[in-house]
Structure 1
Amino acid sequence: MTDTEPRFEMWSTTYPEGVTEILFAQFGAQAPTLDEANSALGEIIPLVEQGDVPTVLDRGQFVDAYGYAHATLMVYWFDPEAYARWSAQPAVQEFWSSRPLSGPVGYYRETAVIPRDHIETLYTPHDPKEYDTPGIAQHVEVGPTKVHDYWGSARDRITASEHDDLDGELFEYTPTEVDTKGKRIEVPVPGNVCLIRTAQDWRKSTVFKDDYFANVGPVKDAGVDYLAVSPATGCIQTRKIDEQSIDGDVIERSCTIGWFLSLEHLMTWSRAHRTHLEIYGAFFEMMMGKDGEPMDMSLWHEVSVIPKDAATSLYVNCHNRTGFLTILDHVDGHVLEPAKT
């Protein structure tokens, strides 16, 4: 913690009263083209809209570093037991057990139960409901924090760090060489992996949007692209997502989702690597260079540390750089099973 006054205002939040943990899930389809991936995702969406429906349902699409197109749902249940009931529905069970092992489309499911004291958030000072900010902010009170604008502030905003080092169970990895296409694979997720979702919404921006896309966006994208192919950083996967309406229309909102071996791996890249320092510099130059104009883009992130046995991952007919498949050589007990065809 530092006594230095932040150079500008930022907000933060935590869970609603009575909520002790949430479940965040990503359901994805992978294919040669975005049209094919979105078509496959269309099979999942009706399932998410029945039974114990999630608190937050976001959608997006992206092309990964290896040229594969993805369509994905980013889904939050504020009650993990509600997710358990939803996922136990026969139609949901049948969907995941019946994904074919052959053909151009792959499917994946990643879930993480996030305790209240294992997450930190940071937002530009906007009413999340006015800006339609997704993630948990739609359902909580968001307000100013002074715990920002210094290296290490993210760790300080995670209250579990007061008594837990939050060290990752897996410190380094070499990407797997196993051919995972045509297989159904459950990958055990190491303890204390770090999940980040960082987002940008420019739908209401007239002052900052051009500056962001000219100067911040390009270096942000370069940093994400670097992480995607640099396992030495401890980054497992990055997904640079163009967000969509639930019907599939692209909207003026984007996010990046990343998995790291630990919070420390994320923070080491953030404070020490050229690609993030360039993002940091461009962001602060933008923030300080508008002569007091209020920020009219909504920028935010959620960073979580996922305890051991609190995350799951399943991949059907996906390439070996998809999610936790990339660490397959470093974890025990992965399950390879035939899927129904």
Structure 2
Amino acid sequence: MESAIAEHLKCPRTRHRRVEDDYTPPYPVWSARAPTSVKQVVMGYFGVQWRGPEIQGRACAALMKIARDFALPDGPGHHDLTHYVDADGFDNMVAIAYWSDAAAYARWCATPAIDAWWRSDDRLNEGLGYFREIASPRVEHFETMFNTPDRFEGVGVVMGEVSGELQEHGYWGSMRDRIPLSQTDAMTPSGARAVIAGTPAPGQRVRIAGHENIAMIRSGQEWTETTGQERTLYLEDMEPVLREGMDFLRDQGLPIGCYSNRYMHHLDAQGAPLQKSFGLSYWRSLADMERWAESHPTHVAIFGSFMRYVQALNFQLQLRVYHEVSVLKADEQSYEYINCHARSGLMNGLAPVA
């Protein structure tokens, strides 16, 4: 068993973990490891937004164009295609891309064809919305966790290596303890989101600045390999409770510190749904996320359904679960929206009241 914090990221602690050194977790999990040469990763969310079946074909073509551009020089090492419906009833498809080299992302993004396409006035005149949310945490600022060591998701795919079984999990506060920065920093938020260009509304190009220590989580599950009792338990007991919690954060999350939540489903290359989903949310702080996780009825219900699930199966799961959590400095965030409605993503709650 080993620490979630890689050896080269350890430092003398000024803040303590929530468990003692002899703590033994109840079941095994693993983390993705990056080579010591990796200093910063990029998690890019490239979205297309629309409402109404008559323009769905145009939206699909736009997403495929974005995905094809990932094959250009300096493109990402991994990407996913996903779909969700937001609180305002708009469909959104998102190509999520991961780079293990922030400089490579910067070169890719500056490629003339990509930059010119994004800046073109055509993006405002197609009847579609577009967004680009870029998180680029330094390796000290994020953690990953998987319940299997042999197939990773998200940023774990581009990190390249795997840990041994981890000690810091299975208790409240373990998420914080897995982030290297937690050794010395409370990761307290400061500042506020701000509109730095445009006005949150359709027909606008809008840029949003994040503040210090926004927390971001992607937490997912895959049920492709489940069968029999396990599949029934997931689809009929666990998933409905999960969906209820995701909808709560989407629709009512702002008062408890959740800026945006999306319950997203994976698509294959032809746009057909896969048996994989995840929640993606942005929070004012890690502490706000922790409070929801530890005490809010919607997450208590999610946790309870998961514990019933694993206990019924004696911890022998075919369900794959994982998450990646980042605490982002202000200079590790970039949010841009073109022709999106005012509650999209990090614009949520920032539009002037009519």
Same fold (TM over 0.5): yes
In the TM superposition, what whole-angstrom CA distance separates every residue of 1:265-306 from its partner, at most 9, and x where no partner exists? 1111100100000001110111111245x2111110001111
How much does 1:172 deviate?
9.4
Q: Which residue of structure 2 aligns with residue 214 of structure 1?
A: 236
Aligned to 1:319, what secondary structure does the other structure show? coil
Give the total of aligned pairs: 322
Residues 14 and 116, structure 1, Cα contact 8 Å, conserved in 2: no
The alpha-carbon distance between structure 1 residues 167 and 329, as it changes in their structure 2 partners (threshold 3 A), is: farther
Q: Which residue of structure 2 aligns with residue 166 of structure 1?
A: 187
Q: Larger deviation: 227-236 or 32-41?
A: 32-41
TM-score normalised per structure 1: 0.89
Q: 1:18 aligns with which of 37, 47, 57?
A: 37
Percent of aligned positions with the same letter in both sequences? 30
Structure 2: which amino acid aligns with 1:20?
A: K
Distance 1:232 1:22 in 2: 30
Structure 1: which amino acid aligns with 2:47?
A: G
How much does 1:204 deviate?
1.6
Distance 1:301 1:32 in 2: 30
Q: Which residue of structure 2 aligns with residue 336 of structure 1?
A: none
Q: 1:82 aligns with which of 104, 129, 132?
A: 104
Q: Confirm or deny that 1:229 pairs with 2:254.
A: no
Aligned to 1:44, what secondary structure does the other structure show? helix
Q: Which residue of structure 1 aligns with residue 278 of structure 2?
A: 255
TM-score normalised per structure 2: 0.85
Structure 1: which amino acid aligns with 2:156?
A: I
In the TM superposition, what whole-angstrom CA distance separates every residue of 1:246-271 from its partner, at most 9, and x where no partner exists? 34232221121111111111111100
Unaligned runs of 5+ residues in structure 2 are: 1-17
Q: Larger deviation: 102-111 or 200-209?
A: 200-209
Q: Which residue of structure 2 aligns with residue 244 of structure 1?
A: 267
CA RMSD for the aligned pairs? 2.1
In the TM superposition, what whole-angstrom CA distance separates every residue of 1:100-150 from its partner, at most 9, and x where no partner exists? 32453100001111111111222113411xxx6443146221431121111
Question: Matches of residues 5-44 of structure 1 in structure 2 within 5 Å?
Answer: 5-33=24-52, 35-36=56-57, 37-44=59-66
Q: Which residue of structure 2 aligns with residue 303 of structure 1?
A: 325
Residues 123 and 130, structure 2, Cα contact 8 Å, conserved in 1: no
Residues 261 and 279, structure 2, Cα contact 8 Å, conserved in 1: yes
Distance 2:94 2:35 in 1: 26
Distance 2:244 2:328 in 1: 26
In the TM superposition, what whole-angstrom CA distance separates every residue of 1:41-80 from its partner, at most 9, and x where no partner exists? 1221222221112011111111112100001011101000
Q: Which residue of structure 2 aligns with residue 185 of structure 1?
A: 206
In the TM superposition, what whole-angstrom CA distance separates every residue of 1:146-182 from its partner, at most 9, and x where no partner exists? 2111111100001101111111224799xxxx65110
Q: 1:290 aligns with which of 310, 313, 316?
A: 313
Question: Matches of residues 35-184 of structure 1 in structure 2 within 5 Å?
Answer: 35-36=56-57, 37-98=59-120, 99-128=122-151, 133-137=153-157, 139-170=160-191, 180-184=201-205
Residues 98 and 154, structure 2, Cα contact 8 Å, conserved in 1: no
Residues 262 and 279, structure 2, Cα contact 8 Å, conserved in 1: yes
Distance 1:283 1:85 in 2: 42
Unaligned runs of 5+ residues in structure 1 are: 331-341
The alpha-carbon distance between structure 1 residues 314 and 151, as it changes in their structure 2 partners (threshold 3 A), is: same
Q: 1:316 aligns with which of 338, 341, 348?
A: 338
